[in-house]
């Protein structure tokens, strides 16, 4: 079962980096703190919020360039096979898809998704996980 399209796998990567960043922050600022203590949740929450910010920046600035619109084509079978300039036998040729009413070529914009949700929406649940962890860490110290 495919759970991502195009660049959607990077949501999983950013999620993993968020966890790693949280533990790296814990290792740098509080190496003596045990993994069951509330401070660990604070560092993990911070990692998730920073990871969500990085994923948001990626989906806002990089992803539109990766998922840019492109013209649509269909392949039409040739009446007879032909040999192209590289010496390869060709049986089909690309034909642009045109809107019947306007005569304009149709363009498609691919989308990157993770679990059928567009990548641009994923920073918010990741940030929510971070905020919940921050609240648990702060309340637990109380």
Do 129 and 142 belong together in one domain? Answer: yes
Q: Tokens 């306007």 label which residue?
A: 102
Do 11 and 61 belong together in one domain? Answer: yes
Do 58 and 127 belong together in one domain? Answer: yes
pLDDT tens sequence across 25-46: 998 988 887 767 778 889 999 9
The structural domain count of the chain equals: 2
Do 96 and 115 belong together in one domain? Answer: no
pLDDT tens sequence across 55-93: 999 999 999 898 888 888 888 898 888 888 888 888 888
Do 3 and 49 belong together in one domain? Answer: yes
CA nearest to 38, candidates 19, 30, 21: 30
Do 98 and 43 belong together in one domain? Answer: no
Query: By residue range, what is the domain housing residue 75?
Result: 70-108
Do 59 and 34 belong together in one domain? Answer: yes
Do 92 and 137 belong together in one domain? Answer: no
Long-range contacts of 116-119 (CB under 8 A, 24+ apart): 119/7, 119/8, 119/10, 119/11, 119/55, 119/59, 119/63
pTM over 0.85: no
pLDDT tens sequence across 8-26: 999 999 999 999 999 999 9
Do 86 and 33 belong together in one domain? Answer: no
77 phi, psi to nearest 5 deg: -75, 135
Rounded to the nearest 5 percent, the helix, strand and coil shares of the chain are 55, 20, 25
Do 47 and 98 belong together in one domain? Answer: no
Q: Please tell me what DSSP assigns to residue 37.
A: S
Confidence grade of residue 126 (pLDDT, cut at 50, 70, 90) = very high
**pLDDT of the residue at 47:** 95
């Amino acid at each position: 079962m495919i759970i991502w399209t195009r660049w959607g796998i990077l949501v999983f990567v950013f999620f993993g980096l968020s966890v790693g960043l949280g533990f790296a922050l814990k290792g740098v600022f509080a190496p003596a703190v045990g993994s069951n203590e509330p401070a660990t949740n604070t560092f993990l929450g911070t990692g998730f919020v920073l990871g969500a910010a990085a994923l948001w920046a990626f989906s806002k600035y990089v992803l539109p360039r990766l998922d840019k619109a492109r013209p649509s084509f269909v392949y039409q079978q040739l009446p007879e096979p032909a040999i192209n300039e590289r010496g390869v036998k060709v049986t089909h040729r690309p034909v642009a898809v045109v809107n019947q009413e306007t005569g304009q070529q149709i363009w498609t914009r691919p989308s990157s998704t993770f679990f059928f949700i567009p990548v641009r929406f994923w920073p918010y649940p990741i940030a929510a996980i971070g905020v919940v962890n921050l609240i648990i860490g702060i309340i637990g110290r109380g």
